[in-house]
Structure 1
Amino acid sequence: MDESGKLIAIIGDEDTVTGFLLAGVGHRTVNTTNFLVVKNDTTVSQIEDAFNRLTARDDIAIVLINQHVANEIRHLLGSYSKTIPTVLEIPSKDVPYDPEQDYIMQRINMMLGAGQS
């Protein structure tokens, strides 16, 4: 797929995913979708599987993930090193964004030497 046809994927709570789907971000084929709605009964392994599946696709440029969901798979995010698809943590309606938990912000701070004496 050429660069102009790349998709945005979403892993998040129902309100976040619904909002992005209503904005036209959703993509569904016979075999797959570009989103996962995480509910109370969603297991960590289901989130891990969705993350691995979405980041392995060559038609996805960005994976948006609610930060509280990202905390469940922090071990995968810590070892994720690909540039494309880029993984961005976003806040949810019910859980505020904490830049201290965001792995991208942690990497930026490490590169800039923040927190060193």
Structure 2
Amino acid sequence: MSSVAIIGDIDTVSGFRLGGVKQAEVVNTPEEAIAAFDKFLDDEISIIIITQLMANEIRNHINRKIGSDVLPMIIEIPDKDGSSEGSSDQINDLIKRVIGVEMVK
């Protein structure tokens, strides 16, 4: 596994493409996001960056597909409109997936 991929709106994806990310999918619907996510899993991408808005839309699908696996690492980023309300704490989720223990604040 190697490489980075981005899933999101046109503005976000364009910014990452300008930054050198070659694996990129512009999505507008949850169905398109699921298709792109599955494609990147099949391509054995190690880091999948996805906008929080799309990640929230396909949260159940992401959890079913990756379960407790460490890779690919899923990184959620705000889209052009900023952070979404109620977004999960990614670092705590990642720690829980990697070591199996939830960090308490």
What is the TM-score normalised by the length of structure 1? 0.69
Choose the corresponding residue for 2:10, options 11, 14, 33: 14
Show the counterpart of 2:79: 92
2:7–2:48 contact (8 Å) kept in structure 1: yes
The SS at the match of 1:11 is strand
Where does structure 1 differ by over 3 angstroms across 4 or more consecutive aligned residues? 103-106
Cα RMSD between the aligned structures? 2.3
Matches of 1:22 and 1:14, distance apart in 2: 12
Choose the corresponding residue for 1:69, options 48, 54, 57: 54
The SS at the match of 1:96 is coil
Show the counterpart of 1:31: none
Matches of 2:83 and 2:51, distance apart in 1: 10
Matches of 2:103 and 2:89, distance apart in 1: 14
Q: CA deviation at 1:25?
A: 1.0
* Unmatched 5+ stretches in structure 2: none
1:10–1:36 contact (8 Å) kept in structure 2: yes
Show the counterpart of 1:112: 103
Choose the corresponding residue for 1:51, options 30, 37, 45: 37
Q: Give the structure with higher Rg (CA).
A: 1
Q: Counterpart of 1:87 in structure 2: which amino acid?
A: I
Q: Percent identity?
A: 35
